[in-house]
Amino acid sequence: MAGLARIALASSAGFRTLKPVLLLCLLAALVLAEPNAVGQSDYTPAPENLKARKEFQDARFGMFIHWGVYSVLGAGEWVFRDRKLTVDEYNHLPLFFDPEKFDAKVWVDLAKASGMKYITITSRHHDGFAMFDSKLSDWTVVKRTPYKRDPLKMLADECHRQGIKLFFYYSQLDWHNPDYYPRGWTGWDSGRPNAGNWDRYLDEYMDGQLSELLSNYGPIGGIWFDGMWDKPDADWHLSKTYALIHQLQPAALIISNHHQTPKPGEDVQTFERDLPGHNSAGFNTQYISNQLPLESSDTVNESWGFNIGDDKYKSPEELVHRLVRAAGNNSNLLLNVGPMPNGEIQPEFVSRLLAVGQWLSKYGDSIYGTRGGPIPAGDWGVTTRKENKIYVHVLDWAAPLLALAPIPGTITAANSLADGSPLEFTQNANGVILRLPQAQNHEADRVVVLTWQKPN
């Protein structure tokens, strides 16, 4: 199976373009689906964890950061595998990582100005390289780079100063450590020995690094796991790892991008490049938890790690739409930037994020602290709700009247969020008809606030 995947995946074009692979994955997902894995039955979240979940949902918008020694090559975070580099070859990369322009304050300021309420950064990606001061190996930013410092410590300190939550992305998949053995779908070209100690990898190395992340950086938002999909049928000792995390920091949320139904101990369900349940990416699950907070991750261009040739930037309007559609689907949006090797975030990202922040400074009431609204989403747009308000987000509708599905209870007023002006509406058993305000030039979203008297 792994050999087959190796052939199927041996393109440097990246996964997006590999339709047969996605088909394979879909089949694999069907075979591996665990119908009983939806429950949280073995796990009772601590009260502080439940509080953190609610705060997470209220935040609605976070900044994803992919940054590592791969950034040096400007070819994305999969360059190790895409170029079929060996461990010996890849070992040269840290020698060029010296981000003289890195300033944690600039990043946190940008997140804040963009309306983002939390940050999730790669503490290590699939190359296994620790971007923090780990004592578990010498494959770390402190020991192998001329920079010699711990950027995650600086970022954590700055996040604490500015009161923004920091989450650590952690790849369970490792293309560098020989103990990641037996291998899974990926990591076959790195020239490692065909032997390794899987239990040692999990129990000593991975859990050891996670203990460091949960002990040395103050209170953190949580751990965002990725890469379990590489060996979906392996024993990952999850209950041990999850118990360790919850014991060290009960409020820390465990989020896993394994593309499966949530497992006991997980606190958030995340969807990569997708709205919950949509599975347009081809490898996500269609199951949507009705208990856990939801999150959708996405990119500003089409890459996670810095990719110098990727100019497929989404427009600010498109980014606002993704945020709004996520919120309408009761989900957060975790929007990615891949900083350059010098530590700067490229201006194409900065300008677009600031534009989203501008939009949020005006329309944020319809996003922050909301949950998915009572009216089914459609091509026209979505709804969100908060207390006695329903926010109707009109994203794509040219006609002056918009007919919405029936809403239980009574709508007592309709106002434009932009200027508060009252709007005409009628409500009957067939639904609600709204007379929309005229669309302004380049207006990403016309937001109508319905005042809602719910039925008792």
Burial 84-112 (b: 16+ CB within 10 A, else e): ebebeebeebbeebebeebebebbbebbb
Q: Is 283 a residue that touches ligand H79 (CB under 6 A)? A: yes
The residues that bridge with 389 in the sheet, in sequence order, are: 386, 451
Min dist. Cβ of residue 230 to ligand H79 (A): 6
Q: What's the CA gap between 428 and 406, in Å, rounded?
A: 8
Residue range at the interface with ligand H79 (CB under 6 A); choices 145-153, 225-233, 308-316, 346-354? 225-233
Min dist. Cβ of residue 454 to ligand H79 (A): 38
Measured from the CB atom, the residue of 233 and 379 that comes closer to ligand H79 is 233
Provide φ and ψ at 428, rounded to 5°: -145, -170
From candidates 82, 133, 267, 272, binder to ligand H79 by CB under 6 A: 272
Measured from the CB atom, the residue of 90 and 452 that comes closer to ligand H79 is 90
Min dist. Cβ of residue 76 to ligand H79 (A): 8
From candidates 127, 158, 174, 226, binder to ligand H79 by CB under 6 A: 226
- Among 226, 119, 132, 210, smallest CA distance to 166 is for 119
- Among 43, 106, 25, 7, smallest CA distance to 272 is for 25
Q: What's the CA gap between 75 and 308, in Å, rounded?
A: 6
Peptide linkage before 182 cis (omega within 30 of 0): yes
Measured from the CB atom, the residue of 173 and 251 that comes closer to ligand H79 is 173
DSSP class of residue 230 equals: G
Q: Which of residues 237-266 bind ligand H79 (CB under 6 A)?
A: 257, 259
Q: Is 77 a residue that touches ligand H79 (CB under 6 A)? A: yes
Q: Is 180 a residue that touches ligand H79 (CB under 6 A)? A: no
Min dist. Cβ of residue 297 to ligand H79 (A): 6
Q: In what order do the strands lie in the sheet with 410-416?
A: 371-372, 381-386, 389-394, 446-453, 410-416
Min dist. Cβ of residue 9 to ligand H79 (A): 6
Q: Is 185 a residue that touches ligand H79 (CB under 6 A)? A: yes
Binding site for ligand H79 (CB under 6 A): 5, 15, 21, 25, 28, 77-78, 185, 226, 229-230, 257, 259, 272, 283, 297, 304
